[in-house]
Every structure is written in C-alpha cells, then in structure tokens.
Structure 1
Amino acid sequence: MPHTIFLDAVGTLFGIRGTVGEIYGRFAAEAGVQVNAQQLNQAFIESFLAAPRAAFPGVKPAEIPAREFAWWQAVADQSFTKVGVIDQFANFDDFFKVLFDHFAKPDPWIVYPEVLQTLQQWKRQGIELGVISNFDTRLHSVLDVLGLAQFFTSVTISTAVGAAKPQADIFEVAIAKHKCSPEQAIHIGDSWSEDYQGAKAAGLQAVWLYRKEDSIEPERSSADSIKSLAELQFSSD
C-alpha cells in the first residue's frame, strides 16, 4: 500500500475530445480561416514537441500566467504557420485568446472511463493522491470542472515549480507536500520518458500507463506497465 499516488494529467486522467487539430481548426473556421484539421494536428504535434518544456525558473508567481499564455501562443502560431494560413487571421492575438480560454473549460476534455471509480477506491483505502503535470495553471480549473479536484491533496505544475518532468525537482517538490519518502510514492503517467523514467530517476516507484496497444515498444515491454488505472489494485492487509 503506497502512502501517496501521483498521477500525470493529460493522457492519464483525461484526454482531448477528438484532436487538437480539429479543435484549432473549428475555431479557425469561426474566424474565417479554413484549414485541414489533420494537417494542422500534425503541425501542432511537431510544434509542441519542438518547443522548450513549459517551465519558467526564476519567474515571479504573478508573471507566470502571462508566460504560459505566450508559450502556448508560440506553439499555436508555429502550428498555423506550418500549414500556411497564419497570415489569413485578421488578429491572431484575439483569436488565440479565445482558443486559450477554451481549454480551461470542460468541453475539449474527456475523463477516461475508469478514472473516477479508481480514484474513489484509492481514497477509501486512505491513499493520498496528487497530480504532477507539465501542463499549466489552467489545470486547476480543468480538474475542477471535470469533477476531479476533490480527489487530490496536491497539484504540482511545471510552470509554477520552474522545473518540468523528467527533471527531479518537480517530483521532489510534489513529494515534500505529502511528507513521505520517494520510495513510499508511486507516479503513474503515459509518457515513457517524462513520467516513467523521470519518476524512477527521482527515486519514486513508477508505472507506465499505455492506453493504446501500438504504444508498446520492445524495450519498454518489461517495464511496470498498465493499460488502465483500474489494473493497479492494493491490498488493505
């Protein structure tokens, strides 16, 4: 029985309803810009992966929301640039503000089927729960509107900490909030490098969550892995 279970957010607790390209494309169409959603989604993935991790060490807390907004706007700008339509927006700043705010609402997200029941079970067993995420401070609103905030004692976000997974610092900050040793905690996430390897390197127990069969690669098949959070059961004895 672990003292604390930490979970990643996007891809672990909840995911995008559809694709980012579809959502970006729908908002673009409302702004009068037509774009292929599949091409835009690929451009987003490439732009997101090429961006530096969302962490702003040394930045004052009051300045973090503006830095987060600028970080995501740069990713979106690059995405629309890649598909050749960025110049078609009358005012990209105004367009992106609406798009950015949309992702703090419940509409773009879907909670995975087993999540609520599993979190309830772990809480009944007296396990403390926390979130460790490389998202941004909108996560607090998202957890709330999705009915998940009630389960978590702590929420540790890279932009607020100034360090992003797989850096050990973000795991250490999260652990300190629960007054337990790393060995008494488990971290679960869908990213092999950021969640599984990052947590292991920081001294936590780690479980890799893969929801798609085709996400398994040979060198990863021997790792502690699950397809659903419901597979992780603990005895109260």
Structure 2
Amino acid sequence: MLPLDPPQLITLDAVGTLFGLREAVGTVYARFAAAVGVHVDPATLDVAFFKAFKAAPPCAFPEVGASQRAEAEFKWWQGVAADTFHRAGVLDQFADFERFFAPIFAYYATAEPWFLYGDVLPALKDWQGQGIALMVVSNFDSRLYGVLDALGLAPFFKQVWISSEVGAAKPDRLIFERAVASYPASQVWHIGDSWEEDVLGAQGAGLQAIWLRRDRPLLPDPPLPHTLAVPQISDLTEVQVILRGRAS
C-alpha cells in the first residue's frame, strides 16, 4: 500500500461502500411484478437490470430546476426499470408501468432493501473522533438523504453530494470538485468500490483515491501498472490502520 498525505477530508461512495443490497434487484423486481400478475425469472431480471443500468445515461440533470428534480429522478429510474423488463421480454404485460413502478421506487427510499456493512460505523466514528471531515459523493438521487438517515449514517456527514443535484455523475470530475471546493485536493481521500467512477474519477479531480474491493480478493485488475499505484483495501478498517500509522 502506497503512502498517502494525511487527509483533512474523506469522501465516500454510498452503495457498495457504506451499504449494500439485501436482495438482488432482479429478485425485488420479480416479487413486485408477481404481485400484479407478471411472472418472470428473477435471475433473468437481474442480468437485464445491469445491462439496462449500464446503458442508461448518467443520473444527472444539469438543465432541470430544483422543483422538477424529483420527477426527473423518478422518470430516470422508471426508464431503467422499463428497459429491464423489456430486455426480459415482459414489458408489454404491464397495463400501467408507471403505476406499477412507483411502489418499487418508494421501496428503495427506505432502509428495508439495504444493509449496513459491519466496518462502516466503527470507521466513521474513528475518523470523526480524529476531527476528519466526512462527505458522501454518490451517483444517487435525493432518496439517499432518507436512506442515510434511516441507517443512522446522516449525523456523520458534513455534506452529501449526489449526481442528480450536482448535474454531473462520477467519474466526471465536476462532482468531486464541487464537493471538495473548500479543501486542498491533495488532502482529500476518496474511498469507493468502483475503479472507473471512484478511483479514476477521484484521481481526475486531483484527489487521493483508495479502492475498496469488498467481497473480492485483493488481486490487481488490468491494467496492472495503474492498479498497483492505487491503495487497495478489503474493508474500511484498513483505512483506520493507515490513519493511526500516520499519527504515530
């Protein structure tokens, strides 16, 4: 692990870094669909969802005003869900897809579909006790505020930056630059689980990137020279070790 400059601020990704999904998206979509008489294999839906999600434009609305943002967020996710069911070959079985999707969208605004990783609270408390400012930088929408609050995370964060509000999504450097505008970029650490969005995005904005690789062995991914230059961790407790080492 390469040495890092000590941070004044640590920014963190949300999904996959602070909390994860209790169930696969395809399982949830299939359950809601079955309730309205549309039966489809959860695994098929899960594969279709990730293809639809990857094909969608960024969840960022630079031309949308605050009063229209909630509607834009809903329409964006409705589009991803509609593409998911289209790829699974059952979209035409829904009489009113918007009406069907509304409860799913609301479901993901609650704590129920999410679980908190066990290392998160100890790490946040440790960093907060050291006087390090904390923020979230996420390609999420405004439902994230409620989820953070429901999971007991909101009090730890000075600010939360989401792509739908900023108008730019990771790896666009703009969302990082907005978040860290009042800090020296070289004294900001960003931690996230996505190589492209979190590591490359943070580096593009001049931040110190740490790659969180949950549930995966710590083996370098191609291209090897680039991954070797980035600190890699399997959980957030390893960051605490770095911080204590620099303080000693």
What TM-score comes out, normalization by structure 2 length?
0.92
* 1:64-91 C-alpha deviation (Å, 9 max, x unpaired): 1111100000000000011111121232
Equivalent positions of 1:67-106 (< 5 A) are 67-106=72-111
Q: Which amino acid aligns with 1:186?
A: W
Please name the residue that 2:142 is paired with: 137
2:192 to 166, 189, 192: 189
Runs of 4+ off more than 3 Å: none
Query: Structure 2: where are the runs of 5+ without partners?
Result: 1-5
* 1:4-43 C-alpha deviation (Å, 9 max, x unpaired): 0000000100011120001111111111111100000000
Please name the residue that 1:114 is paired with: 119
Inter-partner Cα distance in structure 1 for 2:218 and 2:92: 36
Inter-partner Cα distance in structure 1 for 2:116 and 2:177: 27
Please name the residue that 1:50 is paired with: 55
Q: CA deviation at 1:218?
A: 4.0
Query: 1:205 and 2:188 equivalent?
Result: no
1:126 to 131, 138, 143: 131
Q: CA deviation at 1:113?
A: 1.1
* 1:36-69 C-alpha deviation (Å, 9 max, x unpaired): 0000000000000000111111211111111110
Q: CA deviation at 1:211?
A: 0.8
> What count of residue pairs does the alignment treat as equivalent?
235
Please name the residue that 1:226 is paired with: 233
Describe the SS at the equivalent of 2:39: coil
Inter-partner Cα distance in structure 2 for 1:170 and 1:164: 6
Please name the residue that 1:165 is paired with: 170
Query: 1:31 and 2:36 equivalent?
Result: yes
Inter-partner Cα distance in structure 2 for 1:224 and 1:200: 12
Query: 1:5 and 2:10 equivalent?
Result: yes
Q: CA deviation at 1:219?
A: 2.6
Q: What do you get for the CA RMSD once the two structures are aligned? A: 1.3
* 1:207-235 C-alpha deviation (Å, 9 max, x unpaired): 01111325842435412111101110213
Inter-partner Cα distance in structure 2 for 1:180 and 1:157: 18
Q: CA deviation at 1:92?
A: 1.1
Query: Structure 1: where are the runs of 5+ without partners?
Result: none
Inter-partner Cα distance in structure 2 for 1:87 and 1:226: 44
Q: CA deviation at 1:94?
A: 0.9
Q: Which amino acid aligns with 1:118?
A: A
Maintained 8 Å contact 2:218/2:232: no
Describe the SS at the equivalent of 2:100: helix
Inter-partner Cα distance in structure 2 for 1:213 and 1:58: 38
Q: CA deviation at 1:195?
A: 0.3
Describe the SS at the equivalent of 1:232: helix
Please name the residue that 2:3 is paired with: none
